[in-house]
Structure 1
Amino acid sequence: MTEAEFRALALGLPGVVEHAEQDHPDYRVGGKVFAQLGYPEASWATLWLPADAQEDIVAACPGAFRPSPGDAAGHTQVHLSEAPHPRVREALIAAWRDKAPRRIRDHFRD
């Protein structure tokens, strides 16, 4: 997974906008952040996942995903070069669904 692929996946979800915060692009739906690129380092991304989704994705692919140390429940770091495309897509959709307004979420079919 590259940064460009991550960005394309995030922006391909309905209602998503990219915003720059603290020199790192983040991805928002309905004004709520669900993903950030380039944090904690350039080759990483962070997702705001529901706790149960975080547990599943980390267990399925521990070399690519890990809980963010010291952060709120669900914040999950993604090592992009280690992360398989289908797993990142799955995780991005889970993070997006958790933050998307119902009017947008209800019409999305993955």
Structure 2
Amino acid sequence: MVTIETFRTLALAFPDAVEEPHFEKTSFRIKKKIFASFDEKNNQAVLKLSEIEQSVFCSSSEMIFYPIPNKWGKQGWTIVEIAKVRPEMFEDALQLSYQNVISKKK
């Protein structure tokens, strides 16, 4: 299980990452672009994965990873059930999310 404290520590360990509110959620950003958010009420994270990465994570752990059920999900935004995800799997997905957002900013 990943706690919000672990999530925060991992997300803020990336170079130039900052934490900011995003509506009723907590977001983690790089150069003003969100790479992850946390919905405390539902104990869910949202990460920006590529379509292929999303497919791999969702097919291997469909009760833990699944696309947001709207146009954002078709763009790779993926819900992660924090209480169910293994920490190392979450860390891998978070790293990919950060890389996907930072690579578009260069």
- TM class, shorter-length: 0.7 to 0.9
Q: Calculate the aligned-residue CA RMSD, in Å.
A: 2.0
Letter in 2 for 1:82: K
Q: Distance in 2 between matches of 1:64 and 1:71?
A: 20
| Contact 1:30–1:99 (8 Å) recurs in 2 | no
Q: Distance in 2 between matches of 1:27 and 1:6?
A: 10
- CA-to-partner distance for each residue in 1:34-69, whole Å, 9 max, x for gaps? 110016x43111111111111111122222111111
Letter in 1 for 2:93: A
Q: Does 1:97 align with 2:94?
A: no
Q: Distance in 2 between matches of 1:59 and 1:95?
A: 17
Q: Distance in 2 between matches of 1:71 and 1:7?
A: 27
> Could you list the runs of 4 or more consecutive aligned residues of structure 1 that deviate by over 2 angstroms after TM superposition?
101-104
Residue segments in structure 1 that go unaligned for 5+ positions in a row? 105-110
Q: Which residue of 1 aligns with 2:61?
A: 61
Q: Work out the number of aligned pairs and report it.
A: 103
Q: Determine which of 77, 82, 85 is the counterpart of 1:83.
A: 85
| Most deviating of 57-66 and 28-37 | 57-66
Give the TM-score of the pair, scaled to structure 2.
0.86
- Identity over the aligned pairs, expressed in percent? 24
Deviation, structure 1 residue 20: 0.6
- Over 3 Å counting, the alpha-carbon distance change for 1:87 and 1:74 in structure 2 is same
Give the TM-score of the pair, scaled to structure 1.
0.83
Q: Distance in 1 between matches of 2:5 and 2:71?
A: 26
Q: Distance in 1 between matches of 2:3 and 2:88?
A: 13
